[in-house]
Amino acid sequence: MTALDFQRLLSIEHNGWLSLTDGSAGDFYDSLMADDALMILVNGQILNREQAVISMEQSPPWDKYYITEPQLIPLGEQSAALVYNASALRAGQDTFRAIMTSVYRVDGGRLQMALYQQTTITH
């Protein structure tokens, strides 16, 4: 299995979502994101690594999540994107649904998330 293997990246995404359900997302993404990484949220916010970590530390956890239709898009020897549909639930709120794109790169032998983008599917 290579650093950019489909199953490995999908496993990382699941671990990220699990961290969003158990309150450990700040630590998880702090260790995963590259120093220059960005998160682009469905509401139009663009967060740098530090802002993303703080946001996750302050957000209530999700109760459940689902990943469907994952696809790997190789971007070269040292980078790839994983695209999938996601839905997540919190008690008392509408189901969150979006298309997620996570771009990973290998830098200095370390796998890092370089870019994460949410695209709405409700419009």
Q: Alpha-carbon distance 1 to 58, whole Å?
A: 35
Residue 35, token pair as written in the block: 């120093």
Chain position carrying tokens 């802002």: 51
Q: Alpha-carbon distance 50 to 64, whole Å?
A: 25
Q: Closest Cα to residue 19, out of 9, 29, 5?
A: 29
Decide if 117 contacts 101 (C-beta within 8 A).
yes
pLDDT of residue 63: 98
Q: Alpha-carbon distance 96 to 1, whole Å?
A: 32
Which residue numbers in the chain have pLDDT < 70? Answer: 1, 122-123
Phi then psi for residue 80, to 5 deg, are -160, 160
pLDDT of residue 79: 97
Q: Alpha-carbon distance 43 to 27, whole Å?
A: 23
pLDDT of residue 123: 58
Phi then psi for residue 57, to 5 deg, are -65, -30
pLDDT of residue 62: 98
